[in-house]
C-alpha cells in the first residue's frame, strides 16, 4: 500500500464504491447471513485501506479512525454477529422491526461508508508531518477565555442547582442545552490554546504539573458533576477535544495507546449507560446515578462494551421501512440541525413551514414515535440522510463529509489559520457520536466555536489598542 500512487488510491476507492453500488442494487429482500458477511468484509477492507492512507505522522487518534470504528459498531456488529445468534440480545430490539430489511439496509450503510471513503481518498496528500508554527501571543486571549469560562460555569451551577453538585440523575436537564454547549465550547477552546502555546516534555506527571493551572479546577469539577449525574455527552466531547488537541500540538498517539484508549472509552460508555438505566428508574432519588449503575453493571459478552452504539442499528432498519411506507421527507428531518447554529431560527422555521416544534420533525423523534417506544431511540446517520433524500442523499452527503473531514484534518496540521484547527478538533469531538446521529450535528459547535474565537480575538485587539493609547497619553 505504501508504494501506491494517488491515482491508484483513487481507482481502488472508486472500485470499492462501484462494488458497493452493485451490492446495494442486488441485495435481497430478506435476511442473508452470507450477503451481510460479504458487506462486512468489504467494509473492513475499505476502512483499513482509508485509515492507513489518511494517517499523519502515524497518529491513529484522528476523525477517520474514530468515525469508521463507531460506524462499524452502529451498522455491522448486529447483522453479522448478533442477529444470527441472539436477535433480542439488547432490549431495544424487542421493539418490532422487519428482519427482511436487514440485508438491504446494511448494504445501504456500506454504500454510505464507501461514499465517505471516496471523499477522503480524493483529498489525500503528502503525509509528512509539519505542524504550523506558533506566531500569535495568546496571553490576553487566554485571560478573556478564562473569565468567560468561570462565569459560564457559575451560571451552569445556578441553573443546575444543588442537584447538579450532588449528582442527581436529571439535574443536567434543568440547564438550557445552549448554555451547556457554550460552556463546552469555551472549555474546549481553553484546553486547545493551553496545549497550543506550550511545549510539554517529560513524564505524565510533568505534563500535569505544567498544565495551565486556572483550567484544572474547572475540568475536574466539570467531570465529577457530569459523571455522577450520568450525563456522558459533554464529558466524552471534552475528553476527545483534549486528546485530539494533544495529538495535534504535542505528540501523536500510536496504535497500542490508541487501542487502550478506545477500549477504556467503550467500557466507560457502557458503565454510564447502565448508570442512566438504573438512575432513570427512580429520578426522585437523590443518590448518585453512577454508583447505582456500578452495582448492576456486568459484562456478559464483548458486545456489551459497544452497547451504546449497537442499539442504534435498529434505527437503520425501522427508518428504511418507514420510507417504504411514508416516502421521503425531502430534508424536513434534517432542517433542525441545519438551522441550529442560528438562535431561534429552527423554532421559527419548523412552526411556519411544518406547524410543529423543531424536535418533533427530527428523524430521532419520528422513529421513536413510530415504534411507540417509552424512551428516545435516537437515529442513525445513514437513515437520517435516506429519510430525507434517499440513496442519492446518502451518497452525496457522506461523500461531502469525507471531503470536509479530510480538508479540516490536513489544514489543521499544515495551515497557520487557527480556525481550521478549531473546526477539526470540534469535528473530532463528535466523531464517535456522529454515526448514531445526523451529518449536520457538528455545524453548531464548529460555527459557534469559530465565532467565539474570532470575537475574543477582536476584543483582544481592541484592548491592546486601548492600552497603547493610554500609554501614549
260 SS3 class: helix
DSSP output for 382-445? HHHHHHHHHHHHHHHHHHHHHHHHHHHHHHHHH-S-HHHHHHHHHHHTTTTTGGGS-TTTTHHH
Q: What is the pLDDT along the chain (473 residues), one digit of tens a residue?
A: 456 888 999 999 999 999 999 999 999 999 999 999 999 999 999 999 999 999 998 999 999 999 999 999 999 999 999 999 999 999 899 999 999 999 999 999 999 999 999 999 999 876 555 555 555 667 888 888 999 999 998 888 887 766 666 555 566 667 777 888 999 999 999 999 988 887 666 666 666 666 777 788 888 888 877 777 667 788 889 999 999 999 998 889 999 999 999 988 888 777 776 666 555 555 555 445 555 556 666 667 778 888 889 999 999 999 999 999 999 999 898 888 888 898 888 888 888 888 888 888 899 999 999 888 877 888 999 999 999 999 999 999 999 999 999 999 999 999 889 999 999 999 999 999 999 999 999 999 999 999 999 999 888 888 778 777 777 66
Whether 279 and 169 have beta carbons less than 8 Å apart is answered as yes
Contacts of 13 (CB under 8 A, 6+ apart): 46, 49, 50, 114, 117, 118, 120, 121, 122
Interval 356-375: pLDDT, tens: 888 888 999 999 998 888 77
pLDDT score for 165:
61
Rounded-to-integer distance, Cα 150 and Cα 363, Å: 36
Neighbours of 390 (CB within 10 A): 15
pLDDT score for 359:
83
pLDDT score for 9:
93
Rounded-to-integer distance, Cα 184 and Cα 445, Å: 9
pLDDT score for 1:
44
- What is the C-alpha end-to-end distance of the chain, expressed in Å? 65
Rounded-to-integer distance, Cα 101 and Cα 321, Å: 7
Cell 406547524 sits at which residue? 355
Whether 439 and 385 have beta carbons less than 8 Å apart is answered as yes
Q: Which three cell numbers stand for residue 313?
A: 442499528
CA angle 41-316-336, nearest 5°?
130
pTM of the model: 0.91
Rounded-to-integer distance, Cα 154 and Cα 191, Å: 18
pLDDT score for 287:
47
Rounded-to-integer distance, Cα 400 and Cα 422, Å: 19
pLDDT score for 78:
97
Interval 138-147: pLDDT, tens: 788 888 899 9
132 SS3 class: coil
Rounded-to-integer distance, Cα 239 and Cα 428, Å: 11
Whether 250 and 127 have beta carbons less than 8 Å apart is answered as no
pLDDT score for 294:
61
Amino acid at each position: 500500500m505504501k508504494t501506491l500512487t494517488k491515482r491508484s488510491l483513487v481507482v481502488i476507492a472508486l472500485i470499492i464504491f462501484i462494488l458497493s453500488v452493485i451490492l446495494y442494487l442486488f441485495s435481497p429482500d430478506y435476511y442473508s447471513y452470507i450477503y451481510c458477511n460479504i458487506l462486512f468484509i468489504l467494509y473492513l477492507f475499505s476502512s483499513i485501506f482509508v485509515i492507513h492512507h489518511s494517517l499523519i505522522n502515524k497518529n491513529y487518534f484522528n476523525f477517520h479512525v474514530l468515525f469508521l470504528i463507531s460506524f462499524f459498531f452502529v451498522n455491522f456488529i448486529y447483522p453479522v454477529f448478533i442477529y444470527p445468534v441472539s436477535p433480542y440480545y439488547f432490549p431495544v430490539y424487542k421493539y418490532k422491526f422487519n428482519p427482511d430489511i436487514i440485508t438491504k439496509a446494511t448494504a445501504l450503510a456500506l454504500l454510505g461508508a464507501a461514499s465517505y471513503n471516496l471523499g477522503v481518498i480524493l483529498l489525500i496528500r503528502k503525509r509528512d508531518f509539519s505542524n504550523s508554527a506558533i506566531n500569535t501571543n495568546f496571553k490576553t486571549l487566554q485571560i478573556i477565555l478564562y473569565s468567560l469560562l468561570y462565569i459560564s460555569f457559575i451560571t451552569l451551577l445556578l441553573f443546575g442547582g444543588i442537584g447538579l453538585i450532588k449528582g442527581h440523575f436529571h439535574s443536567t436537564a434543568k440547564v438550557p442545552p445552549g448554555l451547556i454547549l457554550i460552556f463546552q465550547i469555551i472549555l474546549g477552546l481553553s484546553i486547545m490554546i493551553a496545549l497550543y502555546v506550550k511545549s510539554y516534555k517529560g513524564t505524565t506527571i510533568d505534563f500535569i504539573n505544567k498544565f495551565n493551572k486556572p483550567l484544572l479546577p474547572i475540568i475536574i469539577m466539570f467531570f465529577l458533576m457530569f459523571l455522577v449525574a450520568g450525563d456522558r455527552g459533554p464529558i466524552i466531547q471534552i475528553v476527545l477535544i483534549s486528546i485530539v488537541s494533544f495529538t495535534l500540538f504535542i505528540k501523536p498517539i500510536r496504535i497500542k495507546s490508541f487501542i487502550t484508549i478506545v477500549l477504556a472509552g467503550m467500557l466507560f460508555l457502557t458503565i454510564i449507560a447502565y448508570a442512566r438505566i438504573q438512575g432513570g428508574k427512580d429520578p426522585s432519588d437523590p443518590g448518585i446515578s453512577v454508583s447505582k449503575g456500578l452495582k448492576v453493571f456486568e459484562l456478559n459478552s464483548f458486545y456489551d462494551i459497544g452497547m451504546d452504539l449497537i442499539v442504534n442499528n435498529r434505527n437503520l432498519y425501522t427508518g428504511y421501512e418507514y420510507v417504504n411506507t411514508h416516502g421521503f421527507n425531502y430534508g424536513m428531518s434534517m432542517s433542525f440541525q441545519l438551522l441550529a447554529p442560528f438562535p431561534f431560527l429552527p423554532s421559527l422555521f419548523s412552526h411556519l413551514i411544518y406547524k410543529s416544534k423543531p424536535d418533533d420533525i427530527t428523524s430521532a423523534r419520528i422513529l421513536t414515535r413510530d415504534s411507540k417506544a417509552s424512551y428516545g431511540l435516537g437515529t442513525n446517520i445513514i437513515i437520517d440522510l435516506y429519510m430525507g433524500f434517499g440513496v442519492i442523499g446518502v451518497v452525496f452527503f457522506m461523500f461531502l463529509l469525507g471531503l470536509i473531514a479530510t480538508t479540516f484534518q490536513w489544514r489543521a496540521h499544515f495551515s497557520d489559520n487557527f480556525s481550521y484547527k478549531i473546526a477539526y478538533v470540534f469535528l473530532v469531538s463528535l466523531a464517535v457520536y456522529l454515526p448514531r446521529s445526523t451529518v449536520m450535528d457538528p455545524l453548531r459547535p464548529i460555527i459557534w466555536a469559530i465565532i467565539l474565537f474570532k470575537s475574543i480575538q477582536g476584543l483582544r485587539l481592541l484592548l491592546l489598542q486601548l492600552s497603547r493609547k493610554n500609554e501614549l497619553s
